[in-house]
Amino acid sequence: MPNADSRPSLYRDIEYLGGACAFAGEVRSAINKEALFDEFYHYEIEELCHAMHCFGAPAGTVLLQEGEEGDHLILLLAGQVIVRKTDIGGTVHSLAMVGPGSILGEMSLIDGERRFASCVAAEPTRFVVMSKSDLDEIVALHPRLANKFLVMLVRMMVGRLRDMGTRVISPLSKPLV
């Protein structure tokens, strides 16, 4: 596994709090708020922590920037984050306010494409980061855990897609004649 004590190259401008193993209890507490993690055993969460790093950011910090390349996801441990998306006319819309237990940036981790939306700390925030190389390590060393984690991410993304579809289509729907 990656050396949890060495600072990753991500988030150079904000406070590095160390390897996520030191925050394993906080990680467990945060993800217990997310039903998709219900199928994870205590030791599996500990193993995931070995691959992650923790950061602290003040309010106003852009954690993920729409349109930028990205190869990591974040799991919020504390604080609130605003998810924003810019429409084709340049207007910025707030899509959601999320808190502890929320996972952000998973789409770019999975497909390697640019960030879909921006995520900005609405208040002081603590979060852990899992990079693509960290995920690759988990896949190589713990394939069953990696499979479980990836299936959970897919379920989460499908849920968000269904929710977004409902919010977009419902106002536009017209009865069939």
Please give the pLDDT value at position 146.
92
Look up the pTM and report it.
Answer: 0.84
Q: In whole angstroms, what is the distance from residue 78 CA to residue 62 CA?
A: 15
Give the burial string for 119-147 (b: 16+ CB within 10 Å, else e). bbbbeebbbbbbbeebbebbeeebeebbe
Please give the pLDDT value at position 123.
98
Please give the pLDDT value at position 173.
59
Q: In whole angstroms, what is the distance from residue 29 CA to residue 37 CA?
A: 11
Contact 63, 104 (CB under 8 A): yes
**Main-chain dihedrals φ then ψ at residue 19, nearest 5 degrees:** -65, 150
The residues, any chain, with a CB within 8 Å of residue 63's CB and separated by 6 or more, are: 57, 74, 81, 104, 119, 120, 121, 125, 127
User: pLDDT 10s digit of each residue in the chain, 177 long?
Assistant: 444 557 778 898 999 999 999 898 888 888 766 666 667 888 888 899 999 999 999 999 999 999 999 899 999 999 999 999 999 999 999 988 999 989 999 988 888 889 999 999 999 999 999 999 999 999 999 999 999 888 888 888 888 788 777 766 666 556 555
Dihedral Cα 3, 57, 96, 148, nearest 10 deg: 10
Please give the pLDDT value at position 108.
87
Please give the pLDDT value at position 36.
61
Please give the pLDDT value at position 10.
86
Question: Given the structure tokens 């924003």, which residue do they identify?
Answer: 84
